[in-house]
Structure 1
Amino acid sequence: MQTLSRARSRKLATRKRPWRWVKRLILASALTCTTLALIGIIFLFGTRSGEELREWAAGTLLTTQHDYWAPYTFLPEEKLNALKQQIRNPEVINSEPDETAKPEESPQEQPVVETPPEKPKQLIEVEDIDVSKGNYYFKGKIMYISDPKRVQLVVTNRKDRGDLLDEFVKKTNAIGIVNASGFADPDGYGKGAKAYGVVIHDGKILQGYNPKSGETALGITYDGKLITGSYTAEQLVKMGVRDAMSFRPQLIVNGKNLFKDKPAKSWGIQPRTAIGQKADGTIVFVVIDGRQPGHSIGASMNDLAELLEERGIVTAMAMDGGSSSMMLYNGEAITKTSCPYYRGRYLPNAWAVI
């Protein structure tokens, strides 16, 4: 009887033993997670690097539709308010004086200098962007358009929603195209039917008001000059602007990099779109991919301004970013949108090469 009892005890012990290992594994996992959490808390709230990381996170959140999460980075209130102030009220410089009429200059005879004919430029050239900043990295495209008069703002004619970029291309036969204005986007499900701010199309004012404070206008005149600043729609039309829209911030005005020596954290790291112009008139479209670990995290506004400054851009402004950022060339996407839908988002308008 004793032998039988011992055998039963061994069987019971064998049955219980696996549960002991499971309990030990769960306990070890819990201890590991608790330890890592404590280390993370100490890093985030007890070190300067941790505080900077929280500032980056807050700046990134404040430039999205999920800005209500920014307080949960637990930044001091004065720092969070400073970030908000930098985003809502960026520096604005008018690229053109308020007076549209310029004083006439007395003609002076200039010596005639014969110059060899230049090779004709291609209408569009595309440059790959691949930058590593150590802690983050980003990829994207720059499109150079040699004839600025070919760049136009295309506007949706739908009432229920905006157009996808490839739909704009089909309607206009655009060779190159990028997103432009921001729009109402509650909970990330905005349909892009109505743009924020001023909208001028083919010399006609479609929207002359600015419901979202802090927006800045960017327009292209009939002779292909890029203008940006704090202008009303009426002022822009008087200045000879053919197409215009609103967003922010300005990046470069009259050759001045407005983000030079400024902290990058306020605008965070995001997918970006920008429009600019070189001194020779060349228009540039820029799209930086983001929110895609392993491909591209995104860029700060400082990165974008520096990238353009290095390439001789004298005037530039940011367009809507995030999941709206996208570039098409000859009908095909050449950047990778962070939007879950591979064709991008519905948009109220876009800048196109036609």
Structure 2
Amino acid sequence: MQTLSRTRSYKRTARRPLRWVKRLVLVSALTFTTLALGGIIFLFGTQTGEDLREWAAGTLLTTQHDYWAPYTFIPEERLNALKEQIRHPQVINSEPETTETELPTTKSAVVPVPEKPKELVEVEEINEKKDNYYFKGKIMYIHDPDRVHLLVTNRKERGDLLDEFVKKTNAIGIVNASGFADPDGYGQGAKAYGLVIHDGKILQGYNPRSGETALGITYDGKLVTGSYSAEQLVKMGVRDAMSFRPQLIVNGKNLFEGKPARSWGIQPRTAIGQTADGTIVFVVIDGRQPGHSIGASMNDLAELLQEKGVVTAMAMDGGSSSMMLHNGEAITKTSCPYYRGRYLPNAWAVI
């Protein structure tokens, strides 16, 4: 009798874990189903959900994984509209404008106090919070535009890392510039897309694949952007130039003002601009890093630069190429798995 009793007790104990496993599986399945249905209702039954799907489509269209964009299931006409905005952004030709400095009047006997000389390079933090996302980055102000040059790799098999450019030139500040062939994210950055002018010499002519927009700096330190050929730019006195897209600000006009932000999605960003007094501005926005910085839209970038007094600006290559160094140290956080960033065909630098 004692043995039988022990056996029954053992069987009851053995059944309990199995019963709890079944309950756990059932509860988990119900929870997953509820969350999945809730997510579907949110994404496809609310305006916020539709906006998020459109943001996702715009973001995917500006990456190597643009073939995933149709799976956001936004209407085909809206998807095509996003593609059109990315492939054919508005382009306006800028013309360098000389600024006249007002001389102090002699009506008063008061002698003006001279301004404190500015440092060649100043760096400012970016920390912005939007309704549904946030981003961080850095702005670098270069007060002598003659010190800004386009550095070009001399390697054949791959491009240079930003810190390799720095070692070659002792650059004080540097950011990435041109785009390049990047199949599946493994591009070696040996050859830039589009035109490249270095020290007044045309290294590469116009390439439609990079977009029709060029950015150059003249021998007298003026930033030029627009639909120009390499030959036209050289005749205009441009010393260094490259091409990418889109333009952000031309002759003080924000080209993204009043336009939907979703066409270009949210990504890490790099841009080059110039203020009315000639100061060159580098900006890099970190992205793809939840908890640190999600990234910015082109609208965000244009608005930020406009607030800083920039009158001419254009986006550079973004994504995992976006990075800024100051005095040889990275001051932004790249989304590239390699902490030193990507191999690049060229870079804008302060030397």
Contact 2:211 2:243 in 1 (8 A): no
Q: Could you tell me which residue of structure 2 aligns to residue 248 of structure 1?
A: 245
Identify which of 127, 130, 150 aligns with 1:130.
127
Q: Name the CA distance, whole Å, in 1 between partners of 2:206 and 2:298.
A: 26
Aligned to 2:227: 230
Aligned counterpart, 1:205? 202
How far is the alpha carbon of 1:96 from its aligned partner?
A: 2.1
| Equivalence for 2:338 | 341
Deviation of the 1:112 alpha carbon: 7.3
Whole-angstrom distance in 2 between the partners of 1:317 and 1:209: 17
Deviation by residue 1:58-117 (Cα, 9 ceiling, x = unmatched): 0000011111111110111101000000001000000029xx9x9xxxxxxx98735744
Contact 1:215/1:249, CA 8 A, preserved across alignment: no
2: CA distance between counterparts of 1:351 and 1:126?
16
Alpha-carbon distance in 2 for matches of 1:313, 1:200: 24
Structure 1: unaligned runs, 5 residues or longer? 103-109
State the identity as a percent.
Answer: 83
2:292 corresponds to which residue? 295
CA contact (8 A) 1:328 1:335 kept: yes
1:316 counterpart residue number: 313
CA distance in structure 2 between the aligned counterparts of 1:280 and 1:338, rounded to whole angstroms = 33
Offset of residue 333 of structure 1: 0.4
Aligned to 1:113: 105
What residue number does 1:257 align with?
254
Look up the SS of the partner of 1:212 in the other structure: helix
Distance, in Å, in 1 between the alignment partners of 2:206 and 2:258 is: 33
- 2:31 equivalent in structure 1: 32
Equivalent residue number for residue 87 of structure 2: 88
In structure 2, how many angstroms separate the alpha carbons of the residues matched to 1:220 and 1:94? 14
Secondary structure, aligned partner of 1:130: strand
TM-superposed CA distance for 1:227, in Å, is 0.2
Superposition CA RMSD, Å? 1.7
Correspondences of 1:109-188 after superposition (within 5 Å): 113=105, 116=112, 117-188=114-185
Q: Deviations over 1:277-312 (max 9, x none)?
A: 000000000000011111111110000000000011
TM-score, normalising length from structure 2? Answer: 0.95
Which residue pairs with 1:62 in the alignment?
61
Tell me the SS of whatever aligns to 1:158: coil
CA distance in 2, matches of 1:159, 1:215: 26
Q: Distance in 2 between matches of 1:309 and 1:253?
A: 10
The answer (yes or no) to whether the contact 2:197–2:241 under 8 Å persists in 1 is yes
The verdict on how the C-alpha distance between 1:112 and 1:306 changes in structure 2, with shifts beyond 3 A counting, is closer
**Superposition TM-score, scaled by structure 1 size:** 0.94
Partner of 2:43: 44
Give SS of 2:209's match.
Answer: coil
Deviation, structure 1 residue 13 = 2.0
Q: Does 1:75 align with 2:67?
A: no
Distance 2:212 2:62 in 1: 13
Q: How big is the shift at 1:7?
A: 3.3
1:14 corresponding residue in structure 2: 13
Runs of 5+ unmatched residues, structure 2: none
1:215 Cα deviation from its structure 2 partner: 3.8
